[in-house]
Amino acid sequence: MKFLDQVKVFIASGAGGPGAVSFRREKYVEFGGPDGGDGGRGGDVWAEAVDGLNTLIDYRYQQHFKAQRGINGAGANRTGADGEDIILKVPVGTQILDEDKETVLADMTEAGMKVLLARGGRGGKGNAHFKTSRQQAPRHSQPGEPGEERWLWLRLKLIADAGLVGLPNAGKSTFLAAVSRANPKIAAYPFTTLHPNLGVVDTGEGKRFVLADIPGLIEGAHEGAGIGDRFLGHIERCATLIHLVDAGGEDPVGAYETVRGELEAYGAGLTEKPEIIALSKMETVTPERLAELTAEFAALTGGEPAVISAVTGENMRPLIYRIAGAIEAQRAADAKAASGATEPDWTP
C-alpha cells in the first residue's frame, strides 16, 4: 500500500428540504385547512479516527464528499426524511486543517474520536406552521437552509513514542529492523527509505514502545534538498529522538551538526526534545576511533553517546532500555505540565 500523508478534500453538508404547501381536501370532511409538512434536515459531514489505517491513500482517488440533502415535506403533515450523514474515516494522528493549510481545526489523536466538519442545513417549515386566526389558508412555506461547503487539508502525523533521525545511510532502517518486526527496505545506497516506517519495540519487561523511522535529512532539506523535510512532521509527537550517526563516516561530528541544523530550521520544537545520540556501525571502525568519537560527542553535547552495531546486535539492548526510560520520563513530565501540578514545598 502506498504511503500518503497529505491530501486536500472538498466537503459539503446536505441542504435542508423545503417545506410543503398543501391543503387537506377530503370529501364530506369540512374544515380542511393547511397540512403542508416540514422538510427534512440535511446530512452532516463528520471525521472519525479509526484503528487499522496508517495512510490517507483512500483520499487520493476521491476528493469530493457530499452529504445527502433533506427530503421535501409533503401533504398530510408528513415531514421529509433527514439526509444521511457522511463520515470521513482517517488514521489516528490525522490533523484537519483549513484551506489556508495553517489553521488546525481538529487533531485526531485517539481512536474513536469524532468531530463535526460541516453541519447540514435545517429543513424548511410547511404552510401548516403559518396558519393563524387571521390567515386561515397560508400559501407559503420556508425553503430549506443551504448546507456548508469548504476545502480542507488532511495531514497525517504518525503516533510514535520515539523517532529516528540522521543522514541518509546512517543505519536507521537497519536499526528499526533489528529492534522490531518491521521490514523496511535496506540497501547500501542513500535514500532507501522514501516514506516513514513504524515498528513496535518490546523491551522484554512487559513494556513496549513505537519507533518511527523517517527518510534521511541532508544539508538544505528545509529548502527542498533531497526528499526535503516534509516527513519531519511524523516525529513531532515523539517523546524523544534517537540521532544515529555513522561512526565510519568521513565527518561524524559534521553529520550530527548538519541534521541538528535542519531540525532547527524546521522548528516545531524538535530541537527541544530529549535526544539520545547513538554512534552506529561500530563494527566498521577501530576501538581507538570509537573512543575518540565518544570523547568528541561528549564534549560537544554534554552527554555520552551510545555506541552500537545493529548488524551484530552489540550494545543494542542497553540502548533500548535507555530509550524506554527517556520516553517514560518525558511522558511523565508532559502529563505533569498539562495538569499544572507543582512540586510541594519540602519540609523536614
Going 75 to 79 to 84 to 85, the CA torsion angle's sign is: positive
E strands along 109-233, which residues? Answer: 114-118, 149-156, 162-165, 197-202, 208-213
Confidence of residue 347 (pLDDT cuts 50, 70, 90): low
Confidence of residue 309 (pLDDT cuts 50, 70, 90): confident
| Spatial separation of the C-alpha atoms in residues 203 and 207, rounded to whole Å | 6
For the chain, the structural domain boundaries read 1-156, 162-338
Q: Is the pLDDT of residue 348 over 70?
A: no
Query: What is the mean predicted confidence (pLDDT) over 259-279?
Result: 85
Q: Which CATH number fits domain 1-156: 3.30.70.1710, 2.70.210.12, 3.40.1080.10, 3.10.20.70?
A: 2.70.210.12
Q: Between 237 and 146, name the one with better pLDDT.
A: 146
Instruction: State in words which class domain 162-338 has.
Output: alpha beta
Confidence of residue 193 (pLDDT cuts 50, 70, 90): low
Q: Tens of pLDDT along 68-93? A: 999 999 998 899 999 999 999 998 88
CA distance to 60, 215, 252, 264, per residue, from 219 (Å):
31, 13, 14, 12
pTM for this entry: 0.76
Q: Is the pLDDT of residue 154 over 90?
A: yes
C-alpha cell at 280: 552506529
Q: Between 341 and 270, name the one with better pLDDT.
A: 270
Please tell me the predicted confidence (pLDDT) of residue 41: 95
Query: What is the mean predicted confidence (pLDDT) over 300-321?
Result: 86
- Is residue 4 a contact partner of residue 57, using CB atoms and an 8 Å limit? yes
Please tell me the predicted confidence (pLDDT) of residue 231: 78
| Spatial separation of the C-alpha atoms in residues 27 and 25, rounded to whole Å | 7
Query: What is the mean predicted confidence (pLDDT) over 18-24?
Result: 93
Q: Is the pLDDT of residue 312 over 60?
A: yes
Please tell me the predicted confidence (pLDDT) of residue 144: 93
E strands along 223-319, which residues? Answer: 240-246, 275-280, 306-307
Q: Is the pLDDT of residue 342 over 60?
A: no
| Spatial separation of the C-alpha atoms in residues 160 and 194, rounded to whole Å | 18
